[in-house]
Chains A and B, each alone.
Chain A
């Protein structure tokens, strides 16, 4: 089996493991998520431990990887390139926070919970994908605008 096929099977297996982790952790239960966020009420601190455990496992893998030239099954590491703390980062995080606080789903759990197939979860998941699509369309529009300006200026 060639490395690219193996890397696709790794992605499949990791997606499955990630989803099971979300379920075991309680992230796919929006009541639990909302009670974690409800620091002014009947607070359930469980999800703080979810993040802590995930970071404790992931951080050594990062330390190992940053010293390597390439991953086992790929040509290079795809590290995030953005460095700036800008208004888009803050505004996006605020919007995400409001939506997360209203429904108790962040993107991963929304995908996993959508398999239940009940109307309310599907409405959330479909709206989430629609929101991502709107963001993409706006970005494309801006890209075309810039191209247009560049060509008209030359």
Chain B
């Protein structure tokens, strides 16, 4: 499904994401990495603030659905096996790699962390190759 280039929404949304992460750092001293936050809940480590952050995210999801439902259209594929494999890879991979788009991609790159720059470059390129193969070589996927 084609989507339009939306530079203003992208910049505003990105700034809000950065602002939320910045406030978490300046006030609470925490890095906003979503895979780390969910993983930390599973580890039973510092669960109070992590739980509150996730509850906030869920409230945000409910608010988005009520006010601008088009922002959450649902999954791009109906294939449950594909979604299950993808979810397992995202969950396991982000924990093994120590972060995801938020922790490495935003917070880590802002700190000029070598680990985060390498990780972000790796998952970006891998994801681009995956989409390229799925859409243009194998065809039909998403």
List chain A positions with a Cβ less than 8 A from chain B. 7-32, 34-35, 37-42, 44-62, 64-65, 70-80, 82-85, 88-108, 110-116, 118-121, 123-136
User: Can you list 6 residue pairs at the A/B interface with Cβ under 8 Å?
Assistant: A30-B75, A77-B25, A100-B90, A103-B142, A111-B58, A121-B74
A111 contact set on B, CB distance < 8 A: 34, 38, 54, 57-58, 61
Tell me whether A46 and B6 are in contact (CB under 8 A). yes
Contact-residue bracket for chain B: 35 or more
B71 to chain A, nearest CB (A): 4
B55 contact set on A, CB distance < 8 A: 12, 15
Tell me whether A120 and B43 are in contact (CB under 8 A). no
**B contact patch SS:** helix
Tell me whether B26 and A108 are in contact (CB under 8 A). no
B57 contact set on A, CB distance < 8 A: 15-16, 18-19, 108, 111-112
Tell me whether B76 and A31 are in contact (CB under 8 A). yes
Residue from A41, A79, A103, A134 within 8 A of B83 (CB atoms): A103
Tell me whether B56 and A120 are in contact (CB under 8 A). no
Tell me whether A101 and B134 are in contact (CB under 8 A). yes
Q: Nearest CB to that of B104 among chain A residues?
A: A93
B91 contact set on A, CB distance < 8 A: 99, 107, 127-135
B56 to chain A, nearest CB (A): 2
A45 contact set on B, CB distance < 8 A: 5
